Amino acid sequence: MADDAVPIIGATGALGFGLALRLARAGTSVVIGSRALVRAQEAADRVRAAVPGADVEGLENADAAGRGPIVLLCVPFRAQSENLTNLKAALQPGQILVDATVPLAAAVSGKATRLLGVPQGSAAQQAAEMVPDGVEVVSALHTVSASTLGDLDHELDEDVLVAGDSVEAKRRVAELIARIPGLRPVNAGRLEAARLIEGLTPLLIGINIRNKTHAGVRITGLPDELW
């Protein structure tokens, strides 16, 4: 596995698995993380079946997290705190954690079209409080449909809002996102903007339910060169 592999924590779920498929098809080495090794390996096998020749490996979360400089966290909000607690010894200074968590009310048996209040302001800011010193948190990938990601026949054409306090960390995450054809990363400002970005997810869920589709986000009027 290459040193620049992308670990995806929670890649046995729909969003993480869809990202694993798309990144693998783009030629990126992927490490699928799960709490259960068997599930991670099964998901890796599914990626290889969908993307012949894919460079993919399945590991337990803690082992997966150390395999690349940019770690994607794609777990439900109810599992975010537990996962970050378990990853404290695995994450190292210099790594970037991309938090795709959304505090949907569904985490407490509420509606997926409603957002929970988070004391820190957002799930991403909660993550920033929990990661070890020296690990930079970037918020991204909240508005891309897991269903469309997982359907390799579906051509993507949407923007991904990226927020974080480190310009360099955001740039590196943007470069990773841009490997997936049809996704355009857009700098959305500091990490505090994650509160607004995460709120787009329940909004889109409601729109998609009413229109029976998988709509994304597109920001108009931007220059050709964003980064």
| pLDDT tens digits along 16-34 | 999 999 999 999 999 999 9
3-state helix, strand, coil in the chain (%, to 5): 40, 20, 45
pLDDT of residue 3: 58
Q: Exposed/middle/buried for 94, CB within 10 Å: 0-12, 13-18, 19+?
A: exposed
For residue 80, how many other CB atoms are within 10 A of its CB?
Answer: 25
- DSSP one-letter code for 138: E
**Can you tell me the distance from the alpha carbon of 84 to that of 134, in angstroms, rounded to the nearest whole number?**
15
- DSSP one-letter code for 106: G
Residue-wise pLDDT tens digits, 37-46 = 999 999 999 9
pTM of the predicted model as reported, rounded to 2 decimal places: 0.96
pLDDT of residue 163: 98
The answer to whether the CB of 138 falls within 8 A of the CB of 163 is yes
**Can you tell me the distance from the alpha carbon of 7 to that of 133, in angstroms, rounded to the nearest whole number?**
19
